[in-house]
Amino acid sequence: MALLEIVTYPEKILSRPTRLIENIDGDIQYLIENMAHTMYQAPGVGLAAIQVGINKSLMVYDISPKDKERSLQVLINPRIVSSEGSLLSEDEGCLSVPDFRSDVKRAAAITVEGVDRNEKPVRIDAEGFLAIVLQHEIDHLNGILFIDRISALKRGIYKRKVFKNLKRK
């Protein structure tokens, strides 16, 4: 398995919606394995293909507690088909937005549809942490970062910090 490089803000690819996957072949299975390896090593609880520079509608996630057995989940071409309520995702972070965390308003309950790695249809009714993770990763697939969902003031502070650090390099 290969450890993939995680693309970070302000890379333009992160703001582009991904392409649907039409054929789940060996290359996609290999990508899934490499993404899972990368997510666990980072460490993170979710990773979208666009975060490793691959323009495909694919995400992996695992919200199992660290002291429990891993339970990798794969969603291909996922979409949120319904949402209700709201909650505050406290201290949300992202592998593509390093060294920054913020509260983000999210839907409290969502229903997601897609297919798994074996091309079987999947429908997930999610609340709480699972709903937050699914919304966060599906946002990536739609070209949205969590910093796009916070106040302009907080986003501006982070952007200035990033660009200041880029100038130093």
* pLDDT tens for each residue of the chain, 169 residues long: 899 999 999 999 999 999 999 999 999 999 999 999 999 999 999 999 999 999 999 999 999 988 889 999 999 999 999 999 999 999 999 999 999 999 999 999 999 999 999 999 999 999 999 999 999 999 999 999 999 999 999 999 998 988 888 887 6
CA-angle at 107, arms to 20 and 143, nearest 5°: 35
Give the separation between CA 50 and CA 38, rounded to whole angstroms: 13
Residue 5 lies in a domain: no
Q: Is the pTM of this model over 0.85?
A: yes
Domain count, the chain: 1
**What tokens does 166 get?**
């880029």
* Domain around 162: 12-168
Catalytic annotation, pick one of 22, 84, 127, 137: 137
Give the CA dihedral 12, 13, 15, 20, nearest 10 degrees: 160
Distant-in-sequence, close-in-space partners of 17: CB < 8 Å, separation ≥ 6: 141, 142, 143
- Is 137 part of the annotated catalytic residue set? yes
Residue 4 lies in a domain: no
Residue 7 lies in a domain: no
The CATH number assigned to the domain holding 66 equals 3.90.45.10
Closest listed residue to residue 61, CA positions, set 19, 147, 124: 124
Q: How many CB atoms lie within 10 A of CB 88?
A: 12
Residue 6 lies in a domain: no
